[in-house]
């Protein structure tokens, strides 16, 4: 018996169409009325996979540029495109569809950090989205800081408090700032550790901290550990999402290392320190607003594929008996996106503001952990 596409169930037909590349799907859609009907159905939506394949690759197919002029493509796909595609593509290449105000708002909340809503003011969501996207593109291609003269960042202190600080955008250098933080904490002899903890379509959230084998629990920053590796979440070798309240957090603490300044003590970190790392009351859910990139798609859970290195570094720290010590700096960097990917070293990416509302959005479990939230420098007295 010969089976043709016309005789297949619509759901199976939609799955088959979803395996095609975008150019082929456009051509096959117009071969028959039934194929056109299946392709235009919002619930079946065979366009989802080929569109996401384009968005997750560095090179977009030419047919993606003017896809909005085709009525067969459900408009819901454009929320994914506008929320994820490169700024230059949306601003200067793509033909944008006619979306409603609520759909533009959804695109805005998916793409940008919550604190960036300050740029909206009295404008519509579409106008605010395009203006802010142009600011992002402008910052990524020039050294201009006229739109945002001051850059905010957050420092998690060892004693459980945190400061929201700001520095001049023109001279903002997180590595220089963190060197001063280390000097104030008498940890200038320790190497700075840079680690991205989350990537969004336009920005990368990163941390700067120091690790050491401490003599006691005094210099250990438990909040730094909980931010990077939320308690109860870990990765297995298969890369699946796992939540376990019974996994032991104890680790072998090895002998001291010599950083060229003086040898450390061989005393082990007290066992009760690991109790500070546990947070059984935390309720984790996948981050959707803002929406992470593919490399962090399951954030705050582990995302397999090599982009999410939070737990690989955690396993290394456990093996070496290392802990986050002293202050930790949290900041945002604008991603330089081209058809070849992020083409600059992480030190050359321009920085963007990162404030309290952004921290609560990407790490809501931290809000109860921070004992004192201080806006500005000082101890908050």
CA 363 and chain centroid, separation: 11
Which of 368, 314, 360 is CA-nearest to residue 154? 360
CB-CB neighbours of 50 under 10 Å: 23
Tell me the pLDDT tens digit for each residue of 117-173: 988 887 899 999 999 999 999 988 888 877 788 999 999 999 999 999 999 988 899
Q: How far apart are alpha carbons 13 and 40 in whole angstroms? A: 13
**Widest distance between CA atoms in the chain:** 82
Mean pLDDT taken over the chain: 83
Q: What is the pLDDT of residues 76-126, one digit of tens each?
A: 999 999 999 999 999 999 999 999 999 999 999 999 999 999 888 878 999
Averaged pLDDT for residues 302-317: 83
Packing angle between helix 33-40 and helix 22-29, nearest 10 degrees?
Answer: 130
Radius of gyration of the chain (CA): 24
Return the pLDDT at 237.
37
Q: What is the DSSP string of 307-341?
A: T--HHHHHHHHHHHT-EEEEEEEEEEEE--EETTE
Tokens of 350: 């321009």
- 181-219 confidence digits (pLDDT tens): 999 888 889 989 999 999 999 999 999 999 998 877 888
pLDDT confidence tier of residue 307, bands split at 50, 70 and 90: confident
Q: What is the DSSP string of 236-296?
A: -TT--EEE-SS-----------B-SS-BPP-PPPPTTHHHHH--TT-------SSPP-GGG
CA–chain centroid gap for 276, Å, is 25
Complete DSSP assignment for 164-229: EEEEESTT--HHHHHHHHHHHTT-TTSPEEEEEEEE-SSEEEEEEEEEE--SSSTTB-HHHHHHHS
Q: Strands 373-375 and 162-168, how do they pair?
A: parallel
Burial of 174 (0-12, 13-18, 19+ CB in 10 A): buried
Q: pTM score, two decimals? A: 0.85
How far is the C-alpha of 343 from the C-alpha of 337, rounded, in Å? 7
Q: Where are the domains of the chain?
A: 1-74, 84-142, 150-375
Whole-number Å distance between alpha carbons of 148 and 334: 13
pLDDT score recorded for residue 175:
93
Check residue 241 and give its pLDDT: 44
Query: Running DSSP on this structure, what letter comes out for residue 373?
Result: E
């Amino acid at each position: 018996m010969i089976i043709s596409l016309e005789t297949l169930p619509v759901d199976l037909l939609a799955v088959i169409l979803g395996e095609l590349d975008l150019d082929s799907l456009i051509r096959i859609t117009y071969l028959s009325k039934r194929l056109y009907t299946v392709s235009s159905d919002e619930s079946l939506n065979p366009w989802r996979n080929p569109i996401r394949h384009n968005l997750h690759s560095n090179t977009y197919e030419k047919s993606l540029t003017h896809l909005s002029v085709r009525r067969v493509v459900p408009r819901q796909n454009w929320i994914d495109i506008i929320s994820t595609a490169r700024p230059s593509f949306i601003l200067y290449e793509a033909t944008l569809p006619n979306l409603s105000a609520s759909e533009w708002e959804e695109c805005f909340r998916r793409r940008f950090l919550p604190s960036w809503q300050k740029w909206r003011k009295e404008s519509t969501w579409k106008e605010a989205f395009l203006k802010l996207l142009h600011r992002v593109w402008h910052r990524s291609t020039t050294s201009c800081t006229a739109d945002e003269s001051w850059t905010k960042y957050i420092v998690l202190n060892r004693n459980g408090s945190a400061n929201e600080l700001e520095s001049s955008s023109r001279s903002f250098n997180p590595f220089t700032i963190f060197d001063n933080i280390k000097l104030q904490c008498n940890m200038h002899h320790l190497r700075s550790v840079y680690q991205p903890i989350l990537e969004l379509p336009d920005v990368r959230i990163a941390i700067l901290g120091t690790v050491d084998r401490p003599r006691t629990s005094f210099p250990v920053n438990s909040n730094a550990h909980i931010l990077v590796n939320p308690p109860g979440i870990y990765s297995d070798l298969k890369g699946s999402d796992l939540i376990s309240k019974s996994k032991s957090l104890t680790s072998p603490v090895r002998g001291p290392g010599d950083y060229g300044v003086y040898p450390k003590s061989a005393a082990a970190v007290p066992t009760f320190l690991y109790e500070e790392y546990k947070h059984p009351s935390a309720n984790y859910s996948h981050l959707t607003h803002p929406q992470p990139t593919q490399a962090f798609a399951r954030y705050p859970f582990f995302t397999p594929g090599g982009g999410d290195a939070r737990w690989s570094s955690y396993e290394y720290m456990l093996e070496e008996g290392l802990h986050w010590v002293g202050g930790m700096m949290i900041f945002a960097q604008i991603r330089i996106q081209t058809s070849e990917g992020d083409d600059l070293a992480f030190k050359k990416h321009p920085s963007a503001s990162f404030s309290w509302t952004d921290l609560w959005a990407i790490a809501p479990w931290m809000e109860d952990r921070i004992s004192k939230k201080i806006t500005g420098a000082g101890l908050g007295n």
